[in-house]
Amino acid sequence: MTACNAMFAVPSLPVVTLTAISILVISIIILRNKSHRRRRPPGPWGLPLIGHLHLIGPVVHRAFQSLSARYGPIVHLRFGSVPVVLVSSPDLAREFLKSHEITFSSRKHSLAIARLSYNSPFAFAPYGPYWKFIKRISTVDLLGTRSIGKFLPIRRREVHRFLKVMKERADEAAPVNLTEEFLKLAYNIISQMMIGARPSDTQGQAEEVRTLVREVTKIHGQFFISDYVNILKGVDVNGIKERVERVFQRYDGLLEKIISEREGERRRRSCGADETGEDAAKDFLDILLDVMDDEHAEMKLTRNHIKALILDYFTAATDTSAIVMEWALAELINSPTIMQAGRDEIDRAVGKHRIVEETDVPNLPYLLAVMKENLRLHPPIPVVARRSTKEVTVAGYTIQEGSLLFVNNWGISRNPEYWDRPLEFRPSRFLEADGPDVKGQHFHVLPFGSGRRGCPGMSLAMMELPMVLAAMVQCFEWKLVAGSSGVNMVDGKLRLDMTEQPGLTVPRAHELVCVPVARR
């Protein structure tokens, strides 16, 4: 070291040290301030690696309800490495779904979602241009007011077919499995809107799609550890990859056949060689194929996009509708006075000489209230699930980017803080002039979710389902079968057990089997 260097080196050491210490202290202060500002919602201690996944039992909304009862209306959890926020009050639901709507307008990713949606999901898509494009087409061409009207003959025909099956069973005094029949009805309606009634639609094919749709719904409703724990990514824990692949291959084969047949028909039609003379009223598949063939379309659609979309709609519409019809009839069977009040209303408004129609529904406020009360007690999708796209402060808490949000709408609509005697089936609460509604503006009851990511099938469902229920009440009485699964004797009367089955959607645990008795 030179003298010159030494001269400067000696006094410079404490300066460097001092500077370093100052930086350290300032950083600690900033970090402490930041972490004070980044307040996390309360929640239980998590386990290493898996976080709180072990606390989520098979009936997810009930597990969430227990956590909320313990930690309050906003709870922080961690699924593996993914932060989770669980919400269970109407005010917080409004904060997240309305005040911070755009931030929470995406959904979770998973291995199953990626594969089953050909990596191009719609219902699980991030909020962005593709989602907006498809949302626009589907709300205009499939689920808009005009389209709902255009598809009315399909719904009328299918409901009459369904009633005919019930009448045959009534004539034989034979039991009917309504769980299966509701599923068929819901599938028959949505499949004709989506892919039309085609000559090759054999019974076997319809059966196969229904089975696949149920399996996909089940898969989407489960939490797989490999989706959340980084070191397990890519590892096939529980054979999920294999299960998803099996479903994917079966579904892809079926859809490929349906689309190829349709393309053949379209080619024949465009050459003027279609011998069916069929009116070319377009279903959703035709509309999507038009977009795929259109070079100037705003967004390029591929065959895989179309397959993914059809599966999304089958999954979103079939199980939900079937489950709602089943719970509604089950509630009425367990409440004969309410059933009779509904029947009286139909007899007054519609009479006894024709079958109730969708256009009668606005004149059946009590029946509509029955349906809304049913959706309050038995929302088929009990938890609204979203994902945040940036860090945000809500109710004074910092919610990290990429957090999963679960709004336990099942828990909210059964909470005595927000509802009077919430476990009672009491349709009259939906008859009050300034009372609640189910359309997503009233955060005490959110069966269809809320906002732009809310259910696009709501208008269709709220026309179709009350009408089906009304027709069942109008045309038949429903007798329970003693000794069948889920039927118990209570105070000398047969009653249905209302236990739920676990999953993304919440069907009854027992199939609904009844004997229809024709009213006339």
Asked whether 351 and 491 are in contact (CB, 8 A), the reply is no
Asked whether 140 and 425 are in contact (CB, 8 A), the reply is no
**For residue 188, what are the contacts with CB-CB under 8 A and spacing of at least 6?**
158, 161, 206
Residue 166 has a CB neighbour count (10 Å cut-off) of 21
Q: Residues 80, 196, 427, 447: which binds ligand HEM (CB under 6 A)?
A: 447
Choose the stretch contacting ligand HEM; rule: CB under 6 A; options: 6-14, 228-236, 270-278, 447-455. Answer: 447-455
Min dist CB 229 to ligand HEM, Å, is 25
Q: Residues 457, 466, 503, 516: which binds ligand HEM (CB under 6 A)?
A: 457
Interface of this chain with ligand HEM, residues 294 to 353, rule: CB under 6 A: 312-313, 316-317, 320-321, 324
**For residue 141, what are the contacts with CB-CB under 8 A and spacing of at least 6?**
147, 282, 284, 287
**Closer of 436 and 456 to ligand HEM (Cβ):** 456
**Closer of 455 and 480 to ligand HEM (Cβ):** 455
Interface of this chain with ligand HEM, residues 199 to 258, rule: CB under 6 A: none
User: For residues 143, 145, 150 and 153, what is the CA-based torsion angle, rounded to 10 degrees?
Assistant: 90
Min dist CB 386 to ligand HEM, Å, is 6
Kind and range of the H or E element at 333?
helix 303-334
Kind and range of the H or E element at 398?
strand 397-399
Interface of this chain with ligand HEM, residues 13 to 72, rule: CB under 6 A: none
Q: Give the total of residues touching ligand HEM (CB under 6 A).
A: 27
Contact track, ligand HEM, 115-144, x by CB under 6 A: --------x-----------x-------x-
Min dist CB 190 to ligand HEM, Å, is 6
Q: Residues 43, 80, 380, 516: which binds ligand HEM (CB under 6 A)?
A: 380
Interaction between residue 460 and ligand HEM (CB under 6 A): yes
Q: Residues 450, 463, 467, 516: which binds ligand HEM (CB under 6 A)?
A: 450
Closest CA to 200 of 208, 326, 37, 24: 208
Q: DSSP letters along 463-485, please?
A: HHHHHHHHHHHHHEEEEE-TTST
Interaction between residue 456 and ligand HEM (CB under 6 A): yes
Closest residue to bound ligand HEM by CB = 449
Is residue 455 marked as binding?
yes
Q: What is the 3-state secondary structure (H, E, C) of 287-324?
A: HHHHHHHCCCCCCCCCHHHHHHHHHHHHHHHHHHHHHH
Q: Residues 195, 328, 338, 381: which binds ligand HEM (CB under 6 A)?
A: 381
Asked whether 328 and 376 are in contact (CB, 8 A), the reply is no
Using CA atoms, how far apart are residues 62 and 47, in angstroms rounded to an integer?
21
Residue 366 has a CB neighbour count (10 Å cut-off) of 18
Type of residue at 380: P
Annotation: binding site: 455
Annotation: binding site for heme: 455
Q: Which residues of the shown chain bind ligand HEM in the complex (CB under 6 A)?
A: 123, 135, 143, 190, 312-313, 316-317, 320-321, 324, 379-381, 384, 447-450, 453-457, 460-461, 465
